[in-house]
Amino acid sequence: MTRIGFAYNQKPNSPTEISSRSSGASSTSLSNASPASSLSGADEFAEWDSAETIAAVENALSPYGEVVRLEATADFPEKLRDARPDIVFNIAEGLGGPNRESHIPAICEFTGVPYTGSDPFTLTLCLDKARAKESLAFNRVPTPKFVVIRTPAQIGRAMDRLKYPVFVKPVHEGSSKGITEANYCQTPTDLMARAQALLSEYDQPVIAEEFLPGAEFTCGVLGNGEKARVLPLVAINFDALPENSLPIYGFEAKWIWDVPERPLQIFECPAKIDAPLQRAIERVALDAYQVTGCRDWARIDVRIDSAGVPNIIEINPLPGILPNPEENSCLPKAARAAGIGYDELIQSCLLAAAERYGLALARRHSPVAA
Ligand SMILES: Nc1ncnc2c1ncn2[C@@H]1O[C@H](COP(=O)(O)OP(=O)(O)OP(=O)(O)O)[C@@H](O)[C@H]1O
Ligand SMILES: [Mg+2]
């Protein structure tokens, strides 16, 4: 029977669980800052998956083989060697550092084990917002004008190169870690203050980019090559945010204001937009997918500039896949709008990867007794 290794990082339930899960490594930050010293404090493990998501993915994979859990802790190489899976289904965000998302795929590649999703290069590229934007810009895929700030001394040169308002972001984070309303800078003085705070808090470069005033969308993409296809677009409905908040789908909107008990009506899917705009967004999303070398699946954030042109905000080759519809996870939501259920979404990634490797995966006809 096919053995499917399942690589993931599980969010700790409590602070005492943190050291055993990460084997001492800070999860995603490059600094040794403790959660308590963080700007928000709450975002240390925002990228990792919950027990519920992990169980849902495992369940979705099970019709295609025996699923072997391989938590992506420091002993992953030994676990992988012992488990000898035919393929690894990878959703591991990694333990830390700017290449953290590529560690598990790189280990799989090194040991010759097929794995789902993008390769180490694409994962590292897309986790560097500046490098990803360089690739897009070189290939004429629209993305906001930006400046990279590596040290406090470089903030000054960024201050007069961009049109305001400017938005600043840590270069290597995801799940809106370090992206709050405070990152919206209306003046060079705001930029100086916020860039300085982010540089010291996240211990990594910051990008300052021109703030796009238009509507925002996210676009799920499934498959590879000619078969890559976009899912129905998700529009971000900023009217759902609390009064007087900025039109930003950042940390507050994702993790503070939107809770399962009181879900924000933040998404409209399929987005109600005219056909030419829809086609333009889909085109730019597919272009970004191909230019950065994404495989099997991804979610691409797009925002409209002042001239009405869709621009790429970022590419997520390890998309969020929360199973509970109340939790407002974009890719499962977009899939549902296309008539693709949660299990089928997970399986589509597995099957796209298997096809790349020429691996025949057969669905089991009936549940196998334990
Ligand atoms: N240049 C910009 N102009 C306007 N809004 C922006 C810009 N950059 C980021 N934003 C806002 O901030 C949000 C978060 O930014 P971004 O998608 O880059 O961060 P992220 O934390 O990596 O997101 P994810 O949770 O999708 O991984 C965007 O969804 C958008 O609302
Ligand atoms: Mg995003």
**Counting atoms of ligand 1 from 1, which one is nearest the CA of 249?**
31
Q: What are phi and psi of 105, to 5 degrees?
A: -60, -35
User: Is 14's pLDDT higher than 70?
Assistant: no
In this predicted model, which residue has the larger pLDDT, 370 or 3?
Answer: 3
136 within domain boundaries: no
Domain region containing 21:
3-126
Q: 265 with 279, same domain? A: yes
Q: 153 with 172, same domain? A: yes
| Closest listed residue to residue 62, CA positions, set 74, 71, 52, 54 | 54
Q: 79 with 151, same domain? A: no
Q: 26 with 89, same domain? A: yes
**Counting atoms of ligand 1 from 1, which one is nearest the CA of 251?**
21
131 within domain boundaries: no
How many whole angstroms from 43 Cα to the centroid of ligand 1? 15
Instruction: Find the CATH number of the domain harbouring 17.
Output: 3.40.50.20
Query: SS3 letters for 192-242?
Result: HHHHHHHHHHHCCCEEEEECCCCCEEEEEEECCHHHCEECCCEEECHHHCC
8 within domain boundaries: yes
Whose C-alpha lies nearest to ligand 1, atom 2?
211
Which of 210, 230, 262 lies at the terminal end of a domain, its last residue? 210
Using CB distances shorter than 6 Å, the residues near ligand 1 are 144, 167, 169, 174-176, 179, 209, 211-212, 216, 248-250, 301, 303, 313-314, 316
- Ion ligand 2: residues, CB within 5 A, are 301, 314
pLDDT score at 228? 97
Place of tokens 């700790």: 12
Query: Per-residue confidence at 27, pLDDT binned at 50, 70, 90?
Result: very low
Q: 228 with 306, same domain? A: yes
Q: Which pLDDT tens digit goes with each residue over 272-317? A: 999 999 999 999 999 999 999 999 999 999 999 999 999 999 999 9
Q: 206 with 222, same domain? A: no
The ligand with the least distance to the CA atom of 127 is 1
How many whole angstroms from 214 Cα to the centroid of ligand 1? 13
| CB-based contacts of 12-20 (< 8 A; 24+ apart in sequence) | 12/45, 13/51, 18/45
Q: Enter the pTM of the model.
A: 0.91
Q: Are strands 146-149 and 87-90 parallel, antiparallel or unpaired?
A: unpaired
Residues paired with 218 in a beta bridge: 234, 301
In contact, 70 and 5? CB cutoff 8 Å = yes
Instruction: Find the CATH number of the domain harbouring 164.
Output: 3.30.1490.20
Q: 34 with 92, same domain? A: yes
Q: Which residues contact 163 (CB under 8 A, 6 or more apart)?
A: 145, 210
User: Is 26's pLDDT higher than 90?
Assistant: no
pLDDT score at 157? 86
Rounded percentage of the chain residues whose pLDDT exceeds 70: 90
Q: 122 with 198, same domain? A: no
56 within domain boundaries: yes
133 within domain boundaries: no
User: Is 124's pLDDT higher than 60?
Assistant: yes
How many whole angstroms from 216 Cα to the centroid of ligand 1? 9
In this predicted model, which residue has the larger pLDDT, 196 or 261?
Answer: 196
The mean pLDDT value for 169-197 works out to 93
Indicate the average pLDDT of the chain.
Answer: 90
Query: Per-residue confidence at 327, pLDDT binned at 50, 70, 90?
Result: confident
Instruction: Find the CATH number of the domain harbouring 299.
Output: 3.30.470.20
User: Any idea which of 5-14, 44-53, 292-301 has the lowest mean pLDDT?
Assistant: 44-53
Which of 210, 242, 266 lies at the terminal end of a domain, its last residue? 210
Q: 168 with 86, same domain? A: no
Tally the domains of the chain.
Answer: 3
Q: Which helix (DSSP H) or strand (DSSP E) does residue 331 occupy?
A: helix 330-337
In contact, 153 and 79? CB cutoff 8 Å = no
132 within domain boundaries: no
Query: Per-residue confidence at 29, pLDDT binned at 50, 70, 90?
Result: very low
How many whole angstroms from 203 Cα to the centroid of ligand 1? 19
In this predicted model, which residue has the larger pLDDT, 170 or 18?
Answer: 170
The ligand with the least distance to the CA atom of 46 is 1
**Site to substitute for ligand 1 among 48, 166, 179, 327, most atoms within 8 A of C-beta:** 179
Burial class (CB within 10 angstroms; exposed 0-12, middle 13-18, buried 19+) of 335: buried
The mean pLDDT value for 78-102 works out to 96
Which of 78, 95, 126 lies at the terminal end of a domain, its last residue? 126
**Counting atoms of ligand 1 from 1, which one is nearest the CA of 169?**
18
**Site to substitute for ligand 1 among 125, 171, 210, 314, most atoms within 8 A of C-beta:** 314
Q: 272 with 290, same domain? A: yes
Whose C-alpha lies nearest to ligand 1, atom 29?
249
How many whole angstroms from 145 Cα to the centroid of ligand 1? 14
134 within domain boundaries: no
Q: 169 with 80, same domain? A: no
Q: Which pLDDT tens digit goes with each residue over 248-260? A: 999 999 888 888 7
**Site to substitute for ligand 1 among 248, 267, 305, 318, most atoms within 8 A of C-beta:** 248
**Identity of residue 104:** I
Q: Which residues contact 265 (CB under 8 A, 6 or more apart)?
A: 237, 240
How many whole angstroms from 217 Cα to the centroid of ligand 1? 11
Query: Per-residue confidence at 130, pLDDT binned at 50, 70, 90?
Result: very high
Query: Per-residue confidence at 37, pLDDT binned at 50, 70, 90?
Result: very low
Q: 175 with 206, same domain? A: yes
135 within domain boundaries: no
pLDDT score at 306? 97
pLDDT score at 33? 32
The mean pLDDT value for 218-230 works out to 97
**Site to substitute for ligand 1 among 100, 167, 252, most atoms within 8 A of C-beta:** 167
